[in-house]
Chains A and B, each alone.
Chain A
Amino acid sequence: MWTAHWPASPALATLAAVKISPEQIRHVATLARLALTEEEEHAMTETLDAILTYIDKLDEIDTTEVEPTAHVLDLGTRWREDVVTNHPDTEALLANAPAREDDLVRVPRIIE
Chain B
Amino acid sequence: MTDLYTLSIAEAAARLRHRDFSAEELTRALLARAASTEPALHSFLTLCEAEALAAARIADTRLRSGTDVTPITGIPIAVKDVIATAGVRTTAGSRILGGFVPSYDATVAAHLKAAGAVIVGKLNCDEFAMGSSNENSAYGPARNPWSLDRVPGGSSGGSATAVAGAQALGSLGTDTGGSIRLPAAFCGVVGLKPTYGRVSRYGVIAYASSLDQVGPLARDVTDTALLLGTIAGYDPRDSTSVERVVPDYAAALHAGARGLRVGLPREYFVAGMQPEVERAVRAAVRQLEALGAEVREISLPHTEYAIACYYVIATAEASSNLARYDGIRYGTRVGEGDGLLAMYCQTRAAGFGAEVKRRIMLGTYALSAGYYDAYYLKAQKVRTLIRRDFARAFADLDVIVTPVAPTTAFRLGEKTADPLQMYLSDIFTISVNLAGLPALSLPCGFDDADLPIGLQIVGPPFGEEALLRAARAYEESTEWHLRRPPERAAGGVSVTKPGDTT
Contact = CB atoms under 8 A, between A and B. Distances in A.
Interface of A: 1-6, 9-10, 12, 20, 24-25, 28-36, 40, 44, 47-48, 50-52, 54-61, 63, 66-73, 75, 78, 80, 87, 89, 92-93, 95-99, 105, 107-108, 110
Interface in B439-461: 461
Nearest to B357: A34
Interface in B315-349: 319, 323, 326-333, 336-337, 339-346, 348-349
A48 B357 CA distance: 11
Sort chain B's interface into a size bin.
35 or more
Listed residue (B87, B364, B385) with the most chain A CB atoms within 10 angstroms of its CB: B364
Contacts of A99: 333, 336
B154 interface: no
A67 B420 contact: no
| Secondary structure class of chain B's binding surface, majority of residues | helix
Q: Which 6 A-B pairs have the closest CB atoms?
A: A72-B436, A68-B380, A98-B333, A96-B330, A9-B420, A63-B381
A9 B421 contact: yes
A68 B312 CA distance: 13
Given A63-B378, A72-B196, A55 B312 contact: yes
12 contacts: A2-B274, A30-B345, A33-B326, A36-B357, A47-B358, A51-B420, A54-B420, A58-B312, A58-B379, A69-B380, A98-B331, A108-B336
Nearest to B237: A80
A112 to B, nearest CB: 10
Contact of B339 (A2, A25, A35, A108): A108
Contacts of A54: 307-308, 311, 420
A2 B328 contact: no
B333 A68 contact: no
Interface in B355-386: 357-358, 360-362, 364-365, 368, 375, 377-385
B357 A69 contact: no
B312 A4 contact: no
B210 interface: yes
B76 interface: no
B36 interface: no
A85 B454 CA distance: 46
Contact of A35 (B332, B337, B340, B345): B345
B383 A69 contact: yes
Contacts of A95: 101
B407 A63 contact: no
A48 B435 contact: no
A33 B335 CA distance: 13
B187 to A, nearest CB: 19
Interface stretch (B45-53, B63-71, B265-273, B279-287): B265-273
B424 interface: yes
Given A28-B368, A29-B345, A72-B461, 12 more contacts: A2-B406, A2-B407, A40-B354, A44-B357, A47-B358, A51-B420, A56-B308, A61-B305, A68-B377, A69-B383, A72-B210, A96-B103
Contacts of B309: 58
A27 to B, nearest CB: 8
Contacts of B406: 2
